[in-house]
Structure 1
Amino acid sequence: MPHYKKPDAGSWTQHYPELGTAPVDYTDSIDPAFYEKEREAIFKRTWLHVGRVERLPRTGSYFTKELPVLGTSLIIVKGGDGKIRAFHNVCRHRGNKLVWEDFPGEETEGTCRQFICKYHAWRYDLTGKLTFVQQEGEFFDLDKADYGLKEVPCEVWEGFVFINLNPQQTLAEYLGEFAAGLEGYPFGEMTEVYSYRAEVGSNWKIFIDAFAEFYHAPILHQKQAVKAEAEKLIGYGFEALHYELKSPHSMVSSWGGMAPPKDPTMVKPIERVLRSGLFGPWDRPAIDGLDTLPVALNPAGHRAWGQDSFEFFPNMTLLIWAPGWYLTYLYWPTAVDKHIFEANLYFVPPKNARERLAQELAAVTFKEYALQDANTLEATQTMLATRTVSEFPLCDQEILLRALHKEVGDRVKEYSDASAV
């Protein structure tokens, strides 16, 4: 993993000449036909993160995942052999959705010994085999071995569960050097989870764009700081510590997360009392794996390092904070101008009430900032849809945006060209 900083001359973008520096065409975020090609060329052919192993603590633990972008619903389940498997959530008899509760469009989770269809009671074991057919003698030459659940490739990296409808590579090969450089981080120790989920009226890439650059932070989030500090931040602007691309993935490393802040005027009274805030609890948890960081973290080796944000293409952000917690963002398209946004914050389980309150303060502070980021999205989408302007200049701090839109465009073109042959 290279350790370099931006030279005095040139820019981060110029480290990657294949990106160019021209304005970027955002038609890819408003064109319904392009969106349908994205579904086929990208989402149906790449590894997608669907959950953590902690959601499957024992044999028979399962959860469902609704994935409109793939046109399916999946069951993720842990078998008696300890293996995690994924199946299309469809009964092989008449196509009924197999696992659901009161409302078939809602996700569910639980523990069971077998899956039983609500319609005609066909049963399947935890490996997907069909084990029982109601009135089996009424069928014609039915071999149960031919009618198991349709399995979907499923692999696990560092406790993160991924699925892929049509894998071109193993998960490890796909995630590449960034993932290899993060192995050993104590993700499995951080099992206290706070989750947010919302339907957003924008293209999925627009929200990734919002989180993949911090150029906006001194402006959009200025009211979160005291006036004098906000004015200083606006005057300085923003400069990340490090950017790096390993196609199709990318990362940005930033300052922040210093605990406690040296300037007491920068924090609110409740933050001083609970020793927590946007950057998470100030007191690092006492667990193995935080003192010696994996090689992918803080690649610039900067003393003011606060967090690294990894964009695993196409729709997963993994953001690791220096004080010892992490979060994930997932962006699930439902239409060209809509998606489901999911955020999960992971902490080491608290040992007392103060630690619990510190985590809750971090979670609600995160929500406030995320709402500020999300507040721009639908306004952006509606104006892009006018097609008044389609190309936009991106600065050097927006290199991850440039890389994302190029990667999407390249993959759609490659798929379209191959389909035309």
Structure 2
Amino acid sequence: MPHFAKPAVGSWTENWPELGTEPVDYTDSIDPEQWKLEQQAIFRKTWLHVGRVERLPKTGSYFTREMPSVGTGTSIIIVKDKDGTVRAFYNICRHRGNKLVWNDYPGEEVSGSCRQFTCKYHAWRYDLKGDLTFVQQEDEFFDLDKQDYPLRSIRCEVWEGFIFVNFDDNAGPLVDYMGDFGKGLEGYPFHEMTEVYSYRSEIKANWKLFIDAFIEFYHAPILHMKQATKEEAEKLAKVGFEALHYDIKGIHSMISSWGGMSPPKDLNMVKPIERILHSGLFGPWDRPDIKGILPDELPPAVNPARQPTWGQDSFEFFPNFTLLLWVPGWYLTYNYWPTGVDSHIFEANLYFVPPKNTRQRLSQELAAVTFKEYALQDANTLEATQTQIGTRAVTDFPLCDQEILLRHLHKTAGDFVNKYKAEQGNTDTNGSAAHV
């Protein structure tokens, strides 16, 4: 069902009656057992975004990722083999279980380039396809066949240059998982935007609470009013902020909003440094000279309501990948990696077309540091939220029409957990023990 620009109060929620209108129970964000179930039912069963192909520029390029969301200590290697295929492996040597790829500190992620992977402990070697190629003093082993001991592989596929892994060997293809939103985004010039600014922070709050903060603009005129001029802040506080469009397709969702004008119609609305550098929270005002970002060139999923005041789209690919496109021609990605029921690692990456001069470079840097301020403001509320929900004094909370995607997120997570519990129950019935 297509969903167009909002004509009346309540019209978003009424399109998805299965989500209801009653208060939402946030016990799912404070229950340790629920988190353990989410780890098994969600993060070990779905496609997880781990990086871009630009991080693998040549044969033998690799990087590692620590994946506590799927299991304590879980580490993986992402590498480009001689055929140009991107592969993923558990970062474990098959001899005695030593971590295979690391530098000075085994808990830190690393990247580089190599012809083969060599274990630091006993020098077992593996080629870029994961096959065991050398065993030190091989004749001392008993009937050892190197073909029986390759690195353990992980499902790895690429969509529009984004690398995903899936720890479920029976999972369907990534392109199917991305669904209609993924299909509708194909062709956007992600590959042109290779200038990257990255942020990472450990947040003492449930992973879903931070996603909640980014899928509604109800908070914008209150929480972020200090970033606007006095006149603009007073206007927003009075009339509120209304997004242009919401949509839900299966387990994924999106929100479209105005903003990101380049340049703003009223320069008095922005700060002096933004006027000088032609940049700010919405990114550089001057559009890069590339194809695919003008209104008539955008893929169909972008600005679906075809609003002339459109500024940005935020696509929420369940469970923890946000892809946010801005009208001036740049994009953001967010990932939320849970480490416990009340903690997660937040990663943000800003992608721009590489600058051609100093002015363009400074405009991108201003956008990057301005974004950080907004993100910190959002994160600042989360730990206070987590502590108070954790008291269980109140666990049911009313949500407004603009918070429709929050309802969808918590219901989707709950559906995955309930399905997993039902499957485990069936396994128990058949005589096998289920473990969480």
Give the TM-score range, shorter chain. over 0.9
Is 1:101 the counterpart of 2:106? The answer is: no
- Cα deviation, residue 7, structure 1: 3.0
Secondary structure of the corresponding residue to residue 398 of structure 1: helix
Moved over 4 A (4+): none
- Paired residue for 2:432? none
- Paired residue for 2:207? 204
225-234 vs 308-317, greater mean Cα deviation: 225-234
Aligned partner letter, 2:213: A
Note if contact 1:2-1:299 (Cα within 8 Å) is conserved in structure 2: no
256-265 vs 374-383, greater mean Cα deviation: 256-265
- Cα deviation, residue 254, structure 1: 0.1
- Over the aligned positions, Cα root-mean-square deviation in angstroms equals 0.9
- Paired residue for 1:352? 357
Is 1:131 the counterpart of 2:136? The answer is: no
- Paired residue for 1:141? 143
State how far apart, in whole Å, the 1-side matches of 2:344 and 2:12 are.
Answer: 30
- Cα deviation, residue 260, structure 1: 1.0
- Cα deviation, residue 411, structure 1: 1.0
1:266-345 matches, within 5 Å, as: 266-291=269-294, 292-345=297-350
Note if contact 2:3-2:247 (Cα within 8 Å) is conserved in structure 1: no
Is 1:374 the counterpart of 2:376? The answer is: no
Structure 2: stretches of 5+ with no match in the other structure = 427-436
Instruction: Give the structure-2-normalised TM-score.
Output: 0.96
- Cα deviation, residue 168, structure 1: 2.3
- Cα deviation, residue 394, structure 1: 0.6
- Paired residue for 2:40? 40
Q: How many residues align?
A: 421
State how far apart, in whole Å, the 2-side matches of 1:159 and 1:3 are.
Answer: 28
73-82 vs 161-170, greater mean Cα deviation: 161-170
- 1:180-205 Cα deviation digits (max 9, x unpaired): 00000000000000000011000000
- Paired residue for 1:220? 223
- Cα deviation, residue 2, structure 1: 3.1
1:169-208 matches, within 5 Å, as: 169-208=172-211
Aligned partner letter, 1:252: I
- Paired residue for 2:431? none
1:254-273 matches, within 5 Å, as: 254-273=257-276
- Paired residue for 1:86? 88
Note if contact 1:193-1:346 (Cα within 8 Å) is conserved in structure 2: yes
State how far apart, in whole Å, the 1-side matches of 2:8 and 2:187 are.
Answer: 34
Note if contact 1:306-1:322 (Cα within 8 Å) is conserved in structure 2: yes
Aligned partner letter, 1:376: T
State how far apart, in whole Å, the 2-side matches of 1:39 and 1:400 are.
Answer: 21
State how far apart, in whole Å, the 1-side matches of 2:182 and 2:167 are.
Answer: 21
Secondary structure of the corresponding residue to residue 312 of structure 2: strand
For the structure 1 residues 337 and 9, does the alpha-carbon distance in structure 2 shift closer, same or farther, using more than 3 Å as the test? Answer: closer
Aligned partner letter, 2:141: F
Is 1:393 the counterpart of 2:398? The answer is: yes
Is 1:121 the counterpart of 2:126? The answer is: no
Aligned partner letter, 2:81: G
- Cα deviation, residue 6, structure 1: 2.1
- Paired residue for 2:433? none
Is 1:414 the counterpart of 2:419? The answer is: yes
- Cα deviation, residue 212, structure 1: 1.0
State how far apart, in whole Å, the 2-side matches of 1:26 and 1:243 are.
Answer: 22
1:5-20 matches, within 5 Å, as: 5-8=5-8, 10-20=10-20
Note if contact 2:30-2:390 (Cα within 8 Å) is conserved in structure 1: yes
Aligned partner letter, 2:411: K
Secondary structure of the corresponding residue to residue 284 of structure 1: coil
Secondary structure of the corresponding residue to residue 198 of structure 2: strand
Identity %: 72
- Paired residue for 1:30? 30
Structure 1: stretches of 5+ with no match in the other structure = none
- 1:205-258 Cα deviation digits (max 9, x unpaired): 010011111110000001111111111001111111000000200000000011
Secondary structure of the corresponding residue to residue 102 of structure 1: coil
